[in-house]
Structure 1
Amino acid sequence: MSVPRRLALASVPADFADWLDYAAIVALLAFGWNEGPFALALFALALTLPYILVGPFLAVIVDRAPTRAVLVLSNLGRAIVTLSFAFASDTALLLALVFVRGAVDSAFTPGRQAAIQASTPEHLRGVANGLHQAINQTSKIAGPALGGILLAFLAPQQVFMLNALLSLIAAGIALTVFLPPRTESAAERGKFFTESLVGISEFRRKRPLLVALIFSACAYFAFFLYDALLALLAGELGFDATAFGLSISASGLGGLIGALMAGRVSGARPMLTMSSAAIISGGTTATVSLAASYGWPVPLPLFLLVLCFMGGATAFMLVPYRTVIQAEAPADRIARVYAAGEAVITLTMLSAPLIGSFVAERFGTPVAFLAGGLLLIVLGAVTLASRGDA
């Protein structure tokens, strides 16, 4: 089996390990320990903050260490921390452990990007990124659902133990991933904090990287303006809870199909793919918002088809970004470049749900979707006009 295939195979249990116990943690907090919205909000922060606060610094070590060792040790670390979930006795400890696991995971993802760069020919990197995005998308859809099913038979602590086993399996597969040794510039080594800034300085130095980062940060912001409001929009279109559940599945399916397709078509001109997808997705989102605003009848099959299409278009914006990173970032600093970009994107999108909810409260739910759609259209048009093709 080739190295890229082994890497993809290792990503299956690794990505599922990120999401399998999501439902178990929420169930334990809400139903086991009777926690309320504040604890669940802290849980969301514990999931995301490591990629801002820890990832850019840990990436210095990722760039220095052998990539295979990073993949193996990060999965072993996740297994140990996940297993410790089963022995957490209160909310504070559990959330602290969730943060620690996120910090460990913030090393795995940049390490995987370095492994794809080192093991995949340049003309096939788009395909590889599409495949890994499809694996990640599948885990986000199936992981929490499978975790919820397991809770019918197992206690949350048992789900945590099962999830720890997934990370162990991922570590075992990663152990078989043999990568060519990478060169490192000894002159670059200096103070740890200074080296952690190398990633963000690379974006300033190379225009294609900067354009891709600004685009991705704005796109994520636009998505999260309305992402959490989908249930409310479905209600305004006259659909019930069952239809809402189907809409989530349709969006996830579209993202999965789109990831596989985007990887095949975005390798040559990633920024053209991203900007075109933004215009199309933004136009579709704006149209759906207008339908809800003016009471236009939308049959359920059409609504599901639109959500599937929107999910697919989103993948066409997200997959090429990683291709640009792998094409433009030097091999001895790709982890820091990727981690810095991920920190900027995560920080940008954290404010979007709050702004979207404010817009929805003040002007109505469809307006939040309209704002996100128009932002995507403008983003795509400006990127096209800038001719920042990577």
Structure 2
Amino acid sequence: MVSSMSPFSVSAFRHLFGAQITSLVGTGLTTVALSLLAFDLAGEDAGLVLGSVLALKMVAYLLIAPVAGGIAHRVPRRAWLVGLDVLRAAIVLCLPFVDQIWQIFVLVFVINAASAGFTPVFQAIIPEILDDEKTYTKGLSYARFAYDLENLASPAVAAALLFVWQFDSLFIVNCLTFVVSAILIVSANIPAAAQTDRVGGFYENTLFGLVAYLKTPRLRGLLAVYFAVSCVGAMIIVNTVVLTRSVLGGSEIMTTVFLGCAGAGSMCAAFLIPKVIDQLGERRLMLSGIVFAAGAMLVGGINMMLGFGSAVFYAVLWAIAGAGTTFAQTPGGRLVQRSAAVGDKSAFFAANFALSHGGWLVAYAMVGWLGGLVDLSVAFLASGSMALLGVGLAVSVWPRKDPLEIHHSHPGFWHDHPHDHHDPHHTHAHPGTQTDAVDANDHTHAHSDDDERHRHEHFHPPVTHKHRFVIDSHHSRWPVESGEQV
């Protein structure tokens, strides 16, 4: 039974959700304005400019998100988010003054670099303020619903505003939405970041999230699912206009209707996820969703090769694909927060953000080139086939039995990191203390309260135990067998 608690009953979530909505709307308006600006500067080469901008966006996400995840735990999160919102507002405000194509590339890279720093930290806060998993799942669904609604509403809002304003005024609106987002974040009750026992410099902290993410079996499965989602999603984003205009002979309105069908399917799925996920579990729901989405692409490709299929037929496929991809990707946040220590969530969400967008970079190139250079039916078949390949990879690396608590053992070792004495690993001795049969109470401390976190070199005696298992400073690899040494 689904909990009746609404995430909107939590004040902090209301503020952060409002910040997300305002920045999404502003970003959607800027997408429209950027298209018009590119046409103004590049004319018939505007498509090439926008394609390059899209690729640059993915590169910014891939390069910057791990760096942000590695250093975010050192900075107050409210100041971090507000600072990046202000930076994005300032960059967007520069766009109306652009008169060279290279300036678009520079500003777009910087604004997306700021987004790569903002989004993972924002995502890591949500499960902390919605600590009940069912409520958090509803929060994820509402976020997905808002994203799809923005995709449908922003072009219509932009069209209405363009009747009375020049397109560069849309950049000013986007600037204001980032300012509103910053104000809402300032007013939100954001909990202080949990302390982490990670040590090391910039390089080690940047790599930590990526390495730990890839060492976690369920997250490797999630990454394969994300790749499958990107193969289907890229087909919808890149080739909807080709399908509706060139193949079906429709108008711009048909293109909008098809995108609306994909969005409607996605929103229906987002509404259903909290009601079905506990019965099916994440693994079954996500894999089933992407199989349906991949199947829609394969059916579309086969029918196109045979010369069958009407506009209604393909619109239904678009709705199925939209629903399937949402079933596949929306529960991912649950897996990420479940796989990270409390103080490491930002690093894991940053790794998730960066690695998942790597799949989009590959998928955009694949379906775009195949659709343009070969045939749209080949792009359909490649999209569905690559998505099924992702499903197969996910099944192989994501164990069907995936317990939270795992029986494992540790060798005895010395190391140095911030700690207190309530962690099961911290029954230890100081340097020079006898290391066999050690009792945590057999040594003294320079500080007055053992409950305080402190740092010194200490010895962990060998131990075999069972607890919620995550990759962190004490667990450098995932145990394959029960009781295996980590």
What is the TM-score normalised by the length of structure 2? 0.73
1:46–1:96 contact (8 Å) kept in structure 2: no
- CA distance in 1 between counterparts of 2:99 and 2:158 reads 21
- Comparing 338-347 with 26-35, greater Cα deviation is found at 26-35
Deviation at 1:382, TM superposition (A): 5.5
Structure 1 runs, 4 residues or longer, greater than 6 Å off: none
Q: 2:96 aligns with which of 68, 80, 86?
A: 86
Structure 2 equivalent of residue 285 of structure 1:
297
Read off the aligned partner of 2:162 and give its amino acid letter: L
Choose between structure 1 and 2: higher strand proportion. 2
Structure 2 equivalent of residue 112 of structure 1:
122
> What is the SS of the residue equivalent to 1:296?
coil
2:239 is the counterpart of 1:229 = yes
User: Could you give the per-residue CA deviations for residues 162-199 of structure 1, whole angstroms, max 9, x where no partner exists?
Assistant: 111111111111112213323212x4232112101111
1:29–1:35 contact (8 Å) kept in structure 2: no
Cα 1:205–1:102 change in 2 (3 A) is same
1:51–1:106 contact (8 Å) kept in structure 2: yes
Please list every run of 5 or more consecutive structure 1 residues that lacks an aligned counterpart in the other structure: none
2:280 is the counterpart of 1:271 = no
User: Could you give the per-residue CA deviations for residues 368-388 of structure 1, whole angstroms, max 9, x where no partner exists?
Assistant: 212222333454355456544
- Comparing 301-310 with 269-278, greater Cα deviation is found at 301-310
Taking only aligned residues, the RMSD between alpha carbons, in angstroms, comes to: 2.5
Q: 1:135 aligns with which of 107, 123, 146?
A: 146
- CA distance in 1 between counterparts of 2:90 and 2:149 reads 24
- CA distance in 2 between counterparts of 1:79 and 1:339 reads 22
Structure 1 equivalent of residue 31 of structure 2:
22
Structure 2 equivalent of residue 341 of structure 1:
352
Deviation at 1:309, TM superposition (A): 2.2
Q: 2:110 aligns with which of 72, 84, 100?
A: 100
User: Could you give the per-residue CA deviations for residues 293-343 of structure 1, whole angstroms, max 9, x where no partner exists?
Assistant: 212243x34432332222111111110112211221223222222222222
- CA distance in 2 between counterparts of 1:336 and 1:118 reads 15
- Number of residues paired by the alignment? 388
Deviation at 1:51, TM superposition (A): 0.5
Structure 2 equivalent of residue 149 of structure 1:
160
Cα 1:12–1:233 change in 2 (3 A) is same
User: Could you give the per-residue CA deviations for residues 244-272 of structure 1, whole angstroms, max 9, x where no partner exists?
Assistant: 33111111222222223224433672121
- CA distance in 2 between counterparts of 1:71 and 1:389 reads 37
Q: 1:217 aligns with which of 227, 232, 237?
A: 227
Structure 1 equivalent of residue 307 of structure 2:
295
- CA distance in 2 between counterparts of 1:358 and 1:33 reads 21
> What is the SS of the residue equivalent to 2:248?
coil
Read off the aligned partner of 2:271 and give its amino acid letter: L
Deviation at 1:38, TM superposition (A): 3.7
Q: 2:199 aligns with which of 189, 196, 218?
A: 189
Structure 2 equivalent of residue 55 of structure 1:
65
Of structures 1 and 2, the larger Rg is shown by 2
- CA distance in 1 between counterparts of 2:217 and 2:238 reads 33
What is the TM-score normalised by the length of structure 1? 0.90
2:181 is the counterpart of 1:170 = yes
Deviation at 1:109, TM superposition (A): 0.8
- Comparing 99-108 with 373-382, greater Cα deviation is found at 373-382
- Comparing 261-270 with 42-51, greater Cα deviation is found at 261-270
1:226–1:356 contact (8 Å) kept in structure 2: no
Deviation at 1:207, TM superposition (A): 1.4
State the structure with bigger RCO (CA 8 A, min sep 6), 1 or 2: 1
Structure 1 equivalent of residue 269 of structure 2:
258
- CA distance in 1 between counterparts of 2:37 and 2:374 reads 36
Read off the aligned partner of 1:251 and give its amino acid letter: A
Read off the aligned partner of 2:286 and give its amino acid letter: M
- Comparing 243-252 with 313-322, greater Cα deviation is found at 243-252
